[in-house]
A and B are shown apart, each in its own frame.
Chain A
Amino acid sequence: MPVFNQSRSYIIKIVFAAAFLIIAIRLFTLQVISSKYSLLAVENAVLKKNVYPPRGIIFDQKGKAILNNTLMYDLMVTPSEVRGVDTIYMCQLLEIDTADFNQRIHEAAFKNGRFRSSIFEALLSPEKHARLEENMWRFGSGFYLQERPVRTYPFKAGAHIMGYVGEADSGIIARSGGFYKPGDYVGRTGLEASYERILMGQRGVQFLVKDNKNRLVGKYENGAYDTAAVAGRGLQSYLDIELQQLAEKLLTNKVGAIVAIDPKTGGIIAMASAPDYDPNELAGANFRKYYSKLVLDVTAPLLNRAIKGQYPAGSTYKPIEALIGLNEGVITPRSGIGCTGKYYGCNRPVACTEKWAGHAANLRLAIANSCNSFFCNTYRLIVDNPKYGGVKNGYENWKGYMNNFGYGLRLGVDLPSEDKGNIPDSAFYNKLYRNSWNSCTNITLGIGQDAMTTTPLQIANAMCIIANKGYYYVPHFIKSIEKETKEDTILNVYRKKHEVLTHIPDTVYEVVHSGMQDVVERGTAQIAKIPGIAICAKTGTAENYRIIRGVRTKLKDNSLFACFAPRENPKIAIAIVVENAGFGATWAAPMASLLLEKYLTDSLRADRVKEVERIANTNLMPGWIQQEQFRADSIRAAQWMKMTGDSTRLKKFLRKTSTPVKDSTPAQRIALINKIEATEPKAFTIKKKRIGV
C-alpha cells in the first residue's frame, strides 16, 4: 500500500500544537497575569462574619447607669429547611395568619436566598419570645432564635441626649468606607453617634468557609485569622439623671428647652428639650411604629431644641452686653441713664418695662431692672465707638465679642448636628438696608432681639463665662472614658480652658454679678428666690415670629431665664426657654428655681414638690400647633387616598365646615365625625362617592 499524504501528519501535528498553544496562552493570562480571579474566589468562598460585642454603658455623675443593654430575640428562618413544620401552630404563637407566614418565607428566600437564614420576626416581644422559647423544639432546624442586644433606658429620660441606635443606612455605609456593612447597628443620633467608636467596642471577625449554597462549612484556616470581639467601653458623664428627669417633667406639655451646665468644667448636668419622647420607644420592637409617629408630629419631638432651637436671646443677653461695654470702656459700673419708660435716642422709641425714675441709675440697677433704654444706649455706644471709625467696623467688633461669648458659632458640644444660631455680620445689614444703616437701624440687638438668634446651650454657656469671670470649657456630656488611653483624643477639646474675657478685673464682674443677684433679690425674678442660696440670674421675654401658612405671624413672647448659682464658687448655670409662654419670670424663672434647689440641696421642699406638679400640669402648647397638625394630617390623608384610593383615613377630616374645631383632641375629632356620620349617613355616603373611591 503506497503511503501517500504522509506529509499531512505534520500538518495535523501543527494543528494540534497550535490549538494547545492557544489554550496555554489563555491559561497564562487567566492564571498568571490577571489577579482579579483569586480575589473573586476569596469573596466567593470566605464569609467574613462580624461578632458584635455589647455596647458600652453611659453613667450619670452619681454612677447610675442611664442606659442598659438587654437581650432581645429575633426569630430567624432558613427557608430551605422549613418543611413539615406545624405552620398553623407557629402562626398562632406569632399571632399572624398563614398567608402572612408564607409571604414572610418568600420574602426571606428572595432577600437572602433559600439556604441562608433571614429574620422572620425582629425583636420579639417578651410574651412572644416566652411562648416561642417553650415550643422551639417543634419547629426543627428551620427556625431558631437569635440574640440581639437592645438598649433600655431605666429612667425613661434623656432621649435627645442619648440618641438611638439603628441599622446603618446606605449613607452611613458609604461614608464609613466599608467599615459598616448592611445589617450593622450604629448610633444614629445623640451620644450614641458621637461616641460610636467607643461605645461599639471592637467588632470581632470570624472567617467562615461557605459552599456554593452559602452553607457554612467550617472555620477558614481553623480560625487563624479570627479576632475576638471586645466589649464597648463605658462613658462617665456629668449628667444628673434625677435633675434631667425633673427638667423633662417641668417641660411637660410645653415647647422649649432647658440646659444646665457645671461652669467649672463645662459638663452638662441636664439638657431637656420638649416635646420629647420615651427613649425606650425607639429601642425595641416598635421602632418603626414610634419613629413614624414622632416624625409626623408637627411639634418635632425628635428635634433637640437645646442645641437646634433658634431663639432670640432677649434680655438674657444684657449682662453680656454690659461686660462688652465695660471692656470697651464705653460704660463704667457707675454709668446710668434717665429712663422714663422709653428710649428716645433713635427715631423709633424702644419701650422699657420700668417707668420709675432711677431704675437705671447705674449698671447694677439697670441689670436688676432690665432697663431697655440703658442697654439700647450701651449697644449704640459700643457700635458707634469713634475709635473704630464707623458703625460697620464697630459692629464687626461687637460681633467679635459675641463670637467670643459663643454666640453665632457652634460651641462644639459632643452631640451631632448642633446649630450655631445667628449673629449676622455687617454684610447682612449692608444687603438688607442697601449699605445705609446705623446703630439705630438694629438698635434692638442691644436687647437681644432683631436678627440675633441663639440656642439655649449658648445662653447657658454664656452664663458659665459670667459665672467663671471670663473663661469657659466647651459644654460637653462625657467626663471620662472607661480605661481611657492616650489614643482617646476625643475628649481633649473639652479639657481645654477658653479664656474669653479674663482680663476684665474681677471687681467689674462683681458689679454684673450683683446686678444679676438683684434680679432675684429685688428685681424681675423674685419668684426664683431660694433662701440661703445666692442666685445670679436674668429673665428674658423675647418677641418672636413664625411663618404660618405663608404669613409672618407674631406669636406670644418666649419666656427665657438664665442664671447661675451660687454666686461664689458657682456650681450650676441654667438656661431655660419656654416657647410662647409669656414673661420670663412667669414660667422659666420658677422652673430654674426648682432645678437649682434640686441640684444644690439635693432635694425639694414639700411645697416645692407641689410647685413642680403645678408647672408640669400646665399646658402651654402654642395654639398654632393643633391647626398645623390637622393640616399636615389631612393633606397626608388626601395624598394617601390619591395614591391608593383608600378614603378611610381622609374620612376623619371630612366635615361640613373645613376649619378644624378649636381645642379638640384627635379623639374628640373622631368622635365628632362619628356623630356626623351617625346623624347624617346619607350626606356622608354622597360625599364618599363624590371622592370617587
Chain B
Amino acid sequence: MARQNEVGISKGIDVSLVWLYLLLVAIGIMAIFAVTYRDGDPIVASFLSFKTDYSKQFYYFLIAGVLAIFILITDSKFFPATANLWYAVGIVLLLLVFPFHSRVKGTESIIRFSGFQFQPAEFCKVVVALALAKYLSLPNLDFTKTSSQLIAAALALTPAVFSIMQSETGLALVYFSFFFVMYREGLPATILIVGFSIAVLVVTTLLIEKNTLAIILTVVAILVAYIMSRIVRRKREMIVKIVLIWALCVGIQRFGVPFLFKHVFHSYQVERIFNTIGRDVPPEYLRIAETNNVGDRPVKKKDTDYNVKQSKIAIGSGGLTGKGLLKGTQTRYEFVPEQRTDFIFCTIGEGFGFAGTMTLLLIYLILLFRIVTVAERQRSVFSRCYAYGVAAVFFFHIVINICMTVGLAPVIGIPLPFISYGGTSLLTFTIMLFILIRLDADKQMILR
C-alpha cells in the first residue's frame, strides 16, 4: 500500500504508530463488513462498488491515506506556523453553521453542499489541539498564572460552547479532554479534582433524594470540621472555607442540578442520563422536558434504553470467544441501532467475544501509551502539547464510546476512532494522528 513507500520518503517516522493505525482501520472495515454484508453479494465486486458501507469506508481510507501522505511531505514547521490561522478558520466555520446548517438526525451542526456533509465541530478537534499546543508553547508563557490558564481553557472550550448551541453535546464534551494537556503542562491537580468532585456530586444528586443528600453533606462538613478542629482553632478562616464549600455543594445539589436539567439539557439528553444511571426520569424534569424544549420529540420513559439494552445483549451474547465473523445475529439483523457508527463496538463484542474486545482494548491502550511515550520524547513543547492533545481526544472517544455501548455512560453520539463508519471521523482522526507522526519525525527540531 501507499504507506510502505512513505517509510522511504519520510525519515524518522514512528512505524509502530503507522502499523497500529493500519490495524485499527482494517478492524474497522472488517466490522462494518460484518454488519452490512448480505449473504450472496460478490465480495470483491461489492468492495469496489462504492455502494456498500464497507466499500465506502474502504474508499474513505484511501482518501485518508492520500491525505496522510500529503501531511507527511509537508514541512513540520507548517503546523505551528499556521496553528492560529487554522483555529480562526475553524471558529469561522463553526459560526457559519448557524445560518447554513441543515437538520440531520436531531443535530444542527452539519453543513451540506451538493450531497457532501461537513461537520465543523468534528474538524475543530484538530484545530484546537494545534492552537492549544501553539499557545502553551509560547516562549514567554507562564502557565502557573491563572490568567494564562483561563486563556488556555477559553481556547479549548469556545468550540464546545458553539457545539452545545448546535445541539451536539457529545462533541462538546470532547473538548474537556484538553484539560489533560493543560494538566501535563502544569495546571494544578486541584482544579481537576474539584471538577471531578463536582461531576460526582451531580451524579449523586440524581441518585439520592435531595433532602437526604443535604443531610449527608452537612454531616460530612461537620465531621471534617471536627477532624480538623486543631487547624480550625489555629486558623479561623478554615471554618469559613469549610462552610463555603458546604454551601457550594448544597447549592449545586439543590439549585444547580435542577436548573441544569430544567433549562439547559434537552429532553432526550435528560432521558439518556437517567437511563444510564438506571432510573426513570423524575416527573419534575419530565414535565419541563416535554413542554419547554420546542421541537424535541416528547419524552418516552425508558425508550432510548432500547439502544443500550440491545447493545448489551449483542456484546453479552458474544461470550468468551464470540460467534464468529458474520454470525452475530444481533448485529447482523440490525437490532442495535447505529451499529455501523456509534455502536460498532457491539459487532466486535458479538463476533469475537471477550477475547476480541480485550484484543481491541489492548491495541488502543498500546496506541495511547505509544502516543504518550512519543509526546515525552519531543524536544519542542508544541509537539509535546499537540501529542497530548491527540492522546486526550483519542482516549476520550474510546472510553466514552465503549462505555456507552456497555451501559456505563449515557448515549452521546461520538464515534470509536478509526473503527466507526464515517468519512469525516476517519479523516479527522487520520489527520490528527499523521500530524503527530510528522511532528515526531522532526522530534529533534524545536518548533515554535
Query: Which residues of chain B from 334 to 390 have any CB-CB distance to chain A below 8 Å in the complex?
Result: 334-335, 349-350, 353-354, 357-358, 361, 364-365, 368-369, 372, 375-376, 379-381, 388
A40 within 8 A of B: yes
Please, what's the 1-or-0 string for B384-421, where 1 marks a CB less than 8 Å from any CB in chain A?
00001001000100010011001010000000000000
A9 nearest CB neighbor, chain B only = B376
- Chain A min CB distance to B395 (Å): 6
For A24-44 the 0/1 string (1 means CB < 8 A from B) is 101110111010111011101
Interface string of A560-602 (1 = CB under 8 A from B): 0000000000000000000000000000000000000000000
The answer to whether the Cβ of B100 comes within 8 Å of any Cβ in the partner chain is no
Which of B253-261, B297-305, B314-322 is near enough to bind chain A?
A: B314-322
- Docked CA distance A689–B380 (Å): 98
Q: Is A137 an interface residue (CB 8 A)?
A: no
- Given B350, B354, B361, which contacts A20 in the complex, CB threshold below 8 Å? B361
Give which listed residue, A5, A37, A45, contacts B316 with CB less than 8 A: A37
B364–A20 CB distance below 8 A: yes
| Residues of chain A from 10 to 34 with CB closer than 8 A to chain B in the complex | 12-13, 16-17, 19-20, 22-24, 26-28, 30-32, 34
Q: Is the CB of B335 within 8 A of A45?
A: yes
Once the chains bind, are A27 and B354 in contact (CB under 8 Å)? yes
Binary CB contact string for chain B from 317 to 336 against chain A (1 if under 8 A, 0 otherwise): 11110000000011011110
Contact among A20, A32, A37, A209 for B312, CB-based, below 8 A: A37
Closest A residue to B379 by beta carbon equals A1
Q: Is A217 an interface residue (CB 8 A)?
A: yes
Is B406 touching A41 in the complex (CB atoms < 8 A)?
A: no
Q: Closest residue of chain B to A5, judged by CB?
A: B186
Which among A6, A36, A211 is the interface contact of B333 at CB below 8 angstroms? Answer: A211
Task: Say yes or no: A8-B335 contact (C-beta < 8 A), given A41-B314, A41-B317, A45-B329.
Answer: no
Bound together, the chains give a CA A210 to CA B333 distance in angstroms of 7
CB distance from B203 to the nearest CB of A (A): 15
Q: Which of B177-185, B224-232, B422-430 has 4 or more CB atoms under 8 Å from chain A?
A: B177-185
Shortest distance from the beta carbon of A130 to any chain B beta carbon, whole Å: 39
Interface residues of A in 26-77 (CB under 8 A from B): 26-28, 30-32, 34, 36-38, 40-42, 44-46
Check A19–B318 contact: CB distance below 8 A. Answer: no
* A44 and B406 in contact, given A13-B369, A27-B357, A34-B316 (Cβ under 8 angstroms): no
Which of these, A17, A30, A211, contacts B406 with CB under 8 Å?
A30
CB distance from A503 to the nearest CB of B (A): 70
The answer to whether A657 has its CB under 8 Å from any CB of chain B is no
A31 with B354: CB separation less than 8 A: yes
A212 within 8 A of B: yes
Q: Give CA–CA (A210, B39) in the complex, Å.
A: 14
Contact A38 B184 (CB under 8 A): no
Residues of A within 8 A of B361 (CB): 20, 23-24, 27
Cα distance A16–B368 in the bound complex, in angstroms: 8
Given A8-B183, A31-B320, A32-B354, check contact A37 B315 (CB 8 Å): yes
B216 within 8 A of A: no
Knowing A5-B186, A9-B376, the reply to whether A31 touches B313 (Cβ < 8 A) is: no
Q: Is B445 an interface residue (CB 8 A)?
A: no
The distance in angstroms between the C-alpha atoms of A30 and B333, with both chains bound, is 21
The total of interchain contacts (Cβ-Cβ below 8 angstroms) comes to 118
| A32 CA / B320 CA spacing, docked (Å) | 5
B85 interface contact, C-beta 8 A: no
Residues in B neighbouring A218, C-beta threshold 8 A: 39
CB distance from B448 to the nearest CB of A (A): 10
Whether A356 sits at the interface, judged by CB under 8 Å, is: no
* Shortest CB distance A567–B (Å): 73
Task: Give A42 to B333 CA distance when docked, in angstroms.
Answer: 12
Residues of B within 8 A of A23 (CB): 361, 399, 402-403, 406, 408
- Cβ distance B173 to chain A, nearest Cβ, rounded Å: 15
- B446 proximal to A (CB < 8 A): yes
A19 engages B395 (CB within 8 Å): yes
Contact across chains for B317 and A211 when beta carbons are under 8 A apart? no
Q: In the complex, are the beta carbons of B184 and A8 less than 8 A apart?
A: yes
Q: Which residues of the partner chain B approach A210 to less than 8 Å between Cβ atoms?
A: 333
Shortest Cβ distance from B335 into A: residue = A212
- Checking B310, B316, B334, B368 against A211 with a beta-carbon cut-off of 8 angstroms, the contacting residue is B334
Q: Assess the A30–B376 pair: CB atoms within 8 A.
A: no
Contact B334 A13 (CB under 8 A): no
- Is residue A4 within 8 Å, beta carbon to beta carbon, of the partner chain? yes
Inter-chain CA distance A27–B354, complex, in Å, is 7
How far, in angstroms, from A13 to B320 measured CA to CA in the complex? 28
Known: A9-B376, A31-B316. A44 touches B329 (CB 8 A): yes
* Cα of A12 to Cα of B183 in the assembled complex, Å: 9
Number of interface residues of B (CB under 8 A): 48
**How distant is B13 from chain A, measured CB to nearest CB, in Å?**
22
Q: Hey, what's the 0/1 contact readout for B132-160 against A, CB within 8 Å counting as 1?
A: 00000000000000000000000000000
Q: Are A37 and B180 in contact (CB under 8 A)?
A: no
Residues of A within 8 A of B (CB-CB), count: 38
User: Given the complex, which residues of A lie within 8 Å of B186, measured CB to CB?
Assistant: 4-5
| Nearest-CB residue, chain B, relative to A215 | B333
Judge whether A22 and B408 touch: CB under 8 Å: yes
Q: How far is the CA of A12 from the CA of B384 in the complex (A)?
A: 14
Interface residues of A in 442-485 (CB under 8 A from B): none
Q: Classify the interface of chain A: helix, strand, loop or mixed.
A: helix
Cross-chain contact B358 with A16 (CB below 8 angstroms): no
Report the bound CA distance from A13 to B365 in whole Å: 9
For A20, the chain B residues whose CB sits under 8 A away are 361, 364-365, 399
B384, chain A: closest CB distance, angstroms: 8
Alpha-carbon distance A209/B350, docked complex (angstroms): 16
Are B379 and A27 in contact (CB-based, < 8 A)?
no
Please state if B319 and A31 are interface contacts (CB–CB under 8 Å): yes
A26 & B379 in contact (Cβ 8 Å cutoff):
no
Could you say which of A8, A28, A46 has the most chain B C-beta atoms within 10 Å of its C-beta? Answer: A8
A42 and B316 CA atoms in complex are apart in Å by 12
A253 CA to B219 CA, complexed, in Å: 87
Query: Residues of A contacting B335 with CB < 8 Å?
Result: 44-45, 211-212
Taking CB atoms, residues of chain B closer than 8 Å to A4 are 186
Write out the residue numbers on chain B whose beta carbons fall within 8 Å of the beta carbon of A217: 333
Query: From B334, which residue of chain A is reached at the shortest CB distance?
Result: A212
In the bound assembly, the distance between CA atoms of A45 and B369 in angstroms comes to 39
Chain B neighbourhood of A13, CB < 8 A: 369, 372
Cβ–Cβ contact B184 & A5, under 8 A: yes
Which listed residue (A12, A24, A38, A211) contacts B372, Cβ 8 A? A12
Bound Cα distance from A131 to B136, whole angstroms: 82
Distance A4 CA – B320 CA, assembled complex (angstroms): 44
- Report B322 CB to chain A, min CB distance, Å: 9
Are A30 and B375 in contact, CB atoms less than 8 angstroms apart?
Answer: no
**Neighbouring B residues of A211 by C-beta, 8 Å:** 333-335
Q: What residue of chain A has the Cβ atom nearest to residue B350's Cβ?
A: A41
The residues of A that contact B368 with a CB separation of less than 8 Å are: 16
Q: Which residues of B contact A8 (CB under 8 A)?
A: 183-184
Q: Are the C-beta atoms of A9 and B316 separated by less than 8 Å?
A: no
Residues of A contacting B376 in the complex (Cβ-Cβ under 8 angstroms): 6, 9
Q: A23-B399, A212-B335 are in contact. Are A5 and B320 (CB under 8 A)?
A: no
Instruction: Report the minimal beta-carbon distance from A107 to chain B, rounded to whole angstroms.
Output: 22
Question: Given the interface contacts A5-B185, A9-B376, A31-B357, does A40 sit within 8 Å of B329 by beta carbon?
Answer: no
A216: shortest Cβ distance to chain B, in Å?
Answer: 10
- How long is the Cα–Cα vector from A210 to B368 in the complex, in angstroms? 40
Whole-angstrom distance between the Cβ of B192 and the nearest chain A Cβ: 10
A-B contact pairs, 14 of them (CB 8 A): A5-B186, A12-B372, A20-B399, A23-B402, A27-B349, A27-B357, A27-B406, A30-B316, A31-B315, A37-B313, A44-B335, A45-B335, A213-B334, A218-B39
A residues within 8 Å of B by Cβ? 1, 4-6, 8-9, 12-13, 16-17, 19-20, 22-24, 26-28, 30-32, 34, 36-38, 40-42, 44-46, 209-213, 217-218
B residues bordering A, Cβ < 8 Å? 39, 180, 183-186, 310, 312-320, 329-330, 332-335, 349-350, 353-354, 357-358, 361, 364-365, 368-369, 372, 375-376, 379-381, 388, 391, 395, 399, 402-403, 406, 408, 446
Given contacts A6-B376, A22-B408, A28-B354, 18 further A-B contacts (CB under 8 A): A1-B380, A5-B186, A8-B184, A12-B388, A13-B369, A19-B399, A20-B365, A23-B408, A27-B354, A31-B316, A31-B357, A37-B312, A41-B313, A41-B317, A41-B330, A42-B317, A45-B335, A218-B39
